[in-house]
A and B are shown apart, each in its own frame.
Chain A
Amino acid sequence: MIMGTLIIGCLLSGIAVHTLFPVASGALSGWTLPAILSLMLLVGFQMGSDLSWVREWKKHMRLAMIVSVCTVVGSLFMAWCYSLLDTALRARDAMLVASGMSFYSLSSILLNQEGLRTLSVLSLLSNLLREVLSLAAVPLIVKLFGVYAPIAATASGSDSGAPVITRVSGKEYTVLCVICAFILSICVPVLTKLLIIMG
């Protein structure tokens, strides 16, 4: 709850600064790349500083690969299906948004760097909503679809959401959450670039 409030507060502050002080906003925008690189470095640092997941990697590897591949394929396929319903949205654009895998900070910045500003805003909102909705619905998802389903639903947010998921599914799924989040986090820039290149 506190975390959610902080995230929304920072986002709204950024929007307010952009609207009220456009000159300052332009100057601050130059810090985006160093900030996102610091974030990436810290993601890696956190993974490296607790190597317990490496010891259990082999045990969970097969299942982690199945969950990760299904998450990517299912997300992209359903985004494509959604674009058939929403005729104003191109299939590639819907898939680009879904390729964020709930990693809202990275996916929106990647799209913004490619000059896709409207899609960047859509990606930010959509992936933020995916993380919030999936974490809020963990008990329901476990009840309806089983213990592995919340990991697929939260996608790359399953590491930060691990306390919520393991409270419902069980503690033995913590490592699986972390490994899947790691694989899916790495997939985000690759998928985004690939979809942009494919045009």
Chain B
Amino acid sequence: MLYLLTIVAGLCIGAIVHRSRKPWPYLSIIALAVLLSVIFLMGLEVDIASVNAALLWRAAGIAVAAMLGSVVCLITVLSLLKR
């Protein structure tokens, strides 16, 4: 809930700034810096001892399964709707 509220708060602030038509040239640089710092902080949480080949295969398996599942579900629904 906190995350959702933060996104909505950001959206409102962004819309207000957009309406005032003030230029915001550094937004993409700030966003990149924050994203990279979050990824760095995520790295701090990773216990290297727990990462092994089995975990990597499992991660790849779930990634491919989820990717294919969403694509197959979408084309099935779209083909049903076309009929």
Residue ranges of A at the interface with B (Cβ–Cβ < 8 Å): 6-7, 10-19, 25, 28-29, 31-32, 35-51, 66-67, 70-79, 81-82, 85-86, 89, 94, 97-98, 105-106, 108-109, 112, 117-118, 120-122, 124-127, 129-130, 133-134, 141, 145-146, 148-149, 152-153, 155, 185-186, 189-190
Contact = CB atoms under 8 A, between A and B. Distances in A.
A36 B11 CA distance: 16
A18 B7 contact: no
A19 B45 CA distance: 10
A70 B45 contact: no
Contacts of A190: 4
Interface residues of B, number: 62
A81 B35 contact: no
B34 A31 contact: no
B74 A71 contact: yes
20 contacts: A18-B47, A29-B41, A29-B45, A32-B44, A39-B38, A40-B10, A41-B13, A44-B7, A44-B10, A44-B13, A48-B16, A66-B77, A74-B73, A76-B69, A126-B63, A127-B63, A134-B67, A145-B71, A153-B70, A190-B4
A139 B41 CA distance: 33
Interface of B: 1-4, 6-18, 24, 27, 30-32, 34-48, 50-51, 55-56, 58-75, 77-78, 81
Contacts of B73: 70-71, 73-74, 77, 152
B65 A78 contact: yes
Contacts of A45: 10-11, 13-14, 17, 27
A190 B62 CA distance: 20
Contacts of B11: 44-45, 47-48
Given A48-B18, A112-B45, A117-B50, A10 B70 contact: no
Given A41-B10, A98-B62, A185-B7, A153 B45 contact: no
Contacts of A78: 65-66, 68-70, 72
B14 A47 contact: yes
A84 B10 CA distance: 40
Contacts of B36: 6-7, 10
Contacts of B6: 37, 40-41, 44
Contacts of A7: 36, 39
Nearest to B56: A125
Sort A-B residue pairs by CB-CB distance and give the 10 closest, nearest first: A14-B43, A48-B14, A44-B10, A78-B69, A74-B73, A125-B59, A74-B69, A74-B70, A45-B14, A44-B11
